[in-house]
Structure 1
Amino acid sequence: MELPVIANTAAGGGCSTSGCGTAPDALGHLPDDIRARVQDHPCYSEEAHHYFARMHVAVAPACNIQCNYCNRKYDCANESRPGVVSELLSPDQAIRKVLAVAAAIPQMSVLGVAGPGDPLANPARTFEIFRQLSERAPDIKLCLSTNGLKLPMYVDEIARHNIDHVTITINCVDPEVGAMIYPWIFWQNRRVRGVEAARILIEQQQKGLEMLTARGILVKVNSVLIPGVNDQHLKEVSKVVKAKGAFLHNVMPLIAEAEHGTYYGLMGQASPTAAQLQELQDACAGDMAMMRHCRQCRADAVGILGEDRGAEFTMDRIDALTLAEIDYESAMVRRKEVHDAIIDQLDQQREARRIPPMPPVLGAVADEMPAAPRPTLRPVLMAVAGKNGVVAEHFGHAREFLVYEASPTGVRFIGHRKTDLYCAGIETCGEGDAAQESVLDKTIAALSGCEVVLCSRIGFEPWGKLEASGIVPNGEHAMEPIEDAVMAVYQEMAASGKLADPAPSRKAA
């Protein structure tokens, strides 16, 4: 039986060495030793997430706290969010699945235990996974995600198993705020509620964070942005966790659709808009390196971020394989070749960006402008139907759009916007029945604030509706590196005079 293999993407993607040369080095602020440890980690490196794959194994069903934004679901294939899994695995099943996936997907670099409950509320199952993998697959990075309640008591065990990447979800450092997020915790054999519960949780999280960083373990902090609850408070969270040694902060939006059955969803709590999320991320970025490429993955996610392939690796398929078919030893050699090729390419791209030249068209536009007053070239948000670092998706086939900001200083990644498929196939795309119209309207709403959408192809129907909504479709840069394509379009806009507005009226995001 043959499992699917994804193609080696080491030959494409990113800002080409002969292209714009303006995208910033996403890891440039990090010391060399930390940079080396995260450059192939798709959840910790913005660059790596286009190229390297990750895998989560669902071995930890129990949880010791209740969050108002969480509803764990088992045997569920229809939702993509934390706490959701299709199959709960035993440690032995998880090991077999990891080895099979690592053989089938050479880009895989990371194995994480992230739920569906809390890994440290299931310590025996969690650490058995790490014990076996550290022996059988030493080339795979090991990661753990936790709410932090029991973190201090397991820091030594984490270090013993060479788990050098830990994510802690920290939504507050003020117990009064925490009481609005956490109804209860289970602590020392009793259920604690309210402000006292939040105080205990915060103390344990902060203590665990300090203990991890003292041992040289890299810590990423996740925070859920909840409008009206912790939206202003998260700036303080960012300052505190940075001071205690966390190197990356991931502020992610609350998922609050009522159909998920969470307390917030049922109570009508609003999720943040894309503009609110970006504004807070930018505000926190003054104190902390920000992660903007998070996909809020399922607890059994497999593959490159934004392209979950977990359904292809169910246990019934894996159980049909023999050890010879998995052949992990041969796969490890192949994986090293693929990983080395990707790292070499990323190094070349960083070197090409080290001294960014002024984009030629932008320089010419600036030279031709009147000496006084000189208009400012405003930044522009562009949505990209991208895959593996290139403009590769048909508009109607995109399940998400990557959002980039282009400006005279370069191109930076802002985040992603999830959407539904507009059409089932190229031959039917653009026919515009009622269902398609509804999905298209939702997609256009999701792209609010963007002035351009780049894709490989697009039908007449969505083209016209995008233009009517003030979003310019562009299919002229198919299969080009995303940053190059975005800068090329920005230069065209600058050359046409669309950006030189001394007091630009920004489209409401």
Structure 2
Amino acid sequence: MPQASSRLSIEAEEELSRHPCYSEEAHRFFARMHITVAPACNIQCNYCNRKFDCVNESRPGVVSEVLTPEQAERKVKGVAAQLMQLSVVGIAGPGDPLANPERTFDTFERVKRQVPDVTLCLSTNGLTLYRHVDAILALGIRHVTITINAIDPNVGREIYPWVIDEGIRYEGQEAAELLISRQLQGLELLAQQGVLVKVNSVMIPGVNDHHLPEVSRTVKALGATLHNVTPLIIAPGSQYERDGRKAPRPKELHNLQEVLGREGMKVMRHCRQCRADAIGLLGQDRNQDFILEKMDANPVINEQARALFQRELDAKIRQRVKAKELRQNSFQQGQHTTKVAVATRGGDKVNQHFGHATEFMVYETDGISVKLLGIRKIQAYCHGKADCNGDKNATLQEIISILQDCQILLCSGIGDVPRASLNKAGVLPLVRKGEIQDAILESVKISSYFENISISKG
């Protein structure tokens, strides 16, 4: 198999700089919008329950509404008129967009006509991708995500019980062989045409966890730009729930990501496994702020204002990248580093109370440079001030087990009970607000001070 070049053109780098899913820096400033016009799916995954729709790159097909192309057109206009940082409009479900090709491409046509400054993005399981390459190119869709969980049919048959293509149902090994061959074919065809392809893979312990490095090597050779490995989320009533399968622990996911990165693949670490109708910054879903019935019938988009606002964001990103490059040689083999968990609602700030957090961003720092390791999902500890210090031991202990390898936790507030429990577990909780990187570097100095005091007293 020929090795594809990993070097991106200047044009490609520019495109990635505004795509929050492809760029770690962009996700702090630019917003995306998923539009839900594709209800049908043509494969079955063992982690998915058809009643809850199909997993693509999001939490299993969870949506508030399925739109017609006409409704989607109106909603995108309304969001673009209000959300100046909106840079990407994608279709990711709730089923598979290419199992609903007429609705999908009609919607993209309308979006392209009404909001020409946004990037179009498509997510698919890849079964029928090869048939739609020409349509994708004609519409100027430059970003496509393919969910590829296996390249070995013996592994794939443990994930996909059946697929349906042109009215024919395939099962078991035959289903896996067909799906995998189509996925790789579609990936190669798109990459040859310069389309930026992100591959998503669900890490399923005991099924494909050992196999994903081979998947990564293969998709990289075929021209994939980015590999995003996400932890298994099991839909209620799915086969995997009945089998009693468990999601991987954060450390297992991190170790796998490290392996893939060492082999030269660009690995996405900031994925939120978003809903199929997510709107806004990653980690700050504003879907409920844009209910179709409450939006203007004919919203007006100020293209000049959008362009000016996004140029300012571009400048911020360039400054951050330049600063990071100056420090990129900071991390050296064997150098002492600290892991820091951050509670944030987005905007690249420490701005969330511990009790309200449903995820933590985990960073590593040597006191000079800061790098993101990944996102860890949790169940919120409390739902209001009244019970932040309440007896929620089971939830709190689960959170502590997820963060136990971190030395510091940053949040905008925390109750006495979780503060004491985290301290006892060796995690130092600090209340801070402001820019994440500044807060992390400051917290490491504080942590070192307390360590030195402890040593001197000892």
Q: TM-score, normalised by structure 2?
A: 0.91
Q: Which residue of the partner structure matches residue 419 of structure 1?
A: 378
Alignment equivalent of 1:457, drawn from 402, 408, 413:
413
* 1:385 and 2:385 matched: no
Alignment equivalent of 1:483, drawn from 404, 425, 437:
437
Q: What are the equivalent positions in structure 2 for 1:32-431 lying under 5 Å apart?
A: 32-73=10-51, 81-256=59-234, 260-287=236-263, 288-318=265-295, 321-323=296-298, 326-328=299-301, 330=302, 332-356=303-327, 377-386=335-344, 387-407=346-366, 410-426=369-385, 428=386, 430-431=388-389
The CA deviation at 1:490 is 2.8
Look up the equivalent residue of 1:421 and give its one-letter code: A
Contact 2:34–2:279 (CA under 8 A) maintained in structure 1: yes
The CA deviation at 1:65 is 0.7
- How far apart in 2 are the matches of 1:83 and 1:52? 23
- How far apart in 1 are the matches of 2:349 and 2:415? 20
Q: Which residue of the partner structure matches residue 3 of structure 1?
A: none
The CA deviation at 1:357 is 8.7
Task: Specify the SS of the correspondent of 1:354.
Answer: helix
The CA deviation at 1:429 is 5.7
The CA deviation at 1:438 is 3.8
The CA deviation at 1:376 is 5.1
Query: What percent of counterpart residues are identical?
Result: 47
Q: Which residue of the partner structure matches residue 445 of structure 1?
A: 401
Aligned Cα root-mean-square deviation (Å):
2.5
The CA deviation at 1:473 is 0.6
The 1:409/1:237 distance shift into structure 2, 3 A limit, reads farther
Look up the equivalent residue of 1:478 and give its one-letter code: K
Look up the equivalent residue of 2:262 and give its one-letter code: G
Task: Specify the SS of the correspondent of 2:438.
Answer: helix
The CA deviation at 1:335 is 1.8
Contact 1:235–1:283 (CA under 8 A) maintained in structure 2: yes
The 1:214/1:357 distance shift into structure 2, 3 A limit, reads closer
Q: Which residue of the partner structure matches residue 24 of structure 1?
A: none
Task: Specify the SS of the correspondent of 1:285.
Answer: helix
The 1:60/1:101 distance shift into structure 2, 3 A limit, reads same
Contact 1:112–1:144 (CA under 8 A) maintained in structure 2: yes
- How far apart in 2 are the matches of 1:355 and 1:304? 27
Q: Which residue of the partner structure matches residue 4 of structure 1?
A: none
Contact 1:226–1:272 (CA under 8 A) maintained in structure 2: yes
- How far apart in 2 are the matches of 1:293 and 1:397? 20
Task: Specify the SS of the correspondent of 1:473.
Answer: strand
Contact 2:74–2:297 (CA under 8 A) maintained in structure 1: no
- How far apart in 2 are the matches of 1:315 and 1:164? 27
Contact 1:455–1:474 (CA under 8 A) maintained in structure 2: yes
Look up the equivalent residue of 1:486 and give its one-letter code: I
Contact 1:209–1:245 (CA under 8 A) maintained in structure 2: yes
Look up the equivalent residue of 1:291 and give its one-letter code: M
The 1:358/1:88 distance shift into structure 2, 3 A limit, reads closer
| CA-to-aligned-CA distance 1:353-375 (integer Å, 9 cap, x gap) | 3322998xx9xxx9xxxxxxxx9
Number of residues of Structure 1 aligned to a counterpart in Structure 2: 443
| CA-to-aligned-CA distance 1:384-423 (integer Å, 9 cap, x gap) | 0123111111222222111111236732111112223333
The CA deviation at 1:132 is 1.2
The 1:160/1:271 distance shift into structure 2, 3 A limit, reads same
- How far apart in 2 are the matches of 1:398 and 1:234? 30
| CA-to-aligned-CA distance 1:475-501 (integer Å, 9 cap, x gap) | 1x321x212222333344456667xx9
Q: Which stretch has the larger CA shift, 417-426 or 306-315?
A: 417-426
- How far apart in 1 are the matches of 2:167 and 2:280? 38
Contact 2:407–2:426 (CA under 8 A) maintained in structure 1: yes
Task: Specify the SS of the correspondent of 2:326.
Answer: coil
Q: Which stretch has the larger CA shift, 404-413 or 206-215?
A: 404-413
Task: Specify the SS of the correspondent of 1:306.
Answer: coil
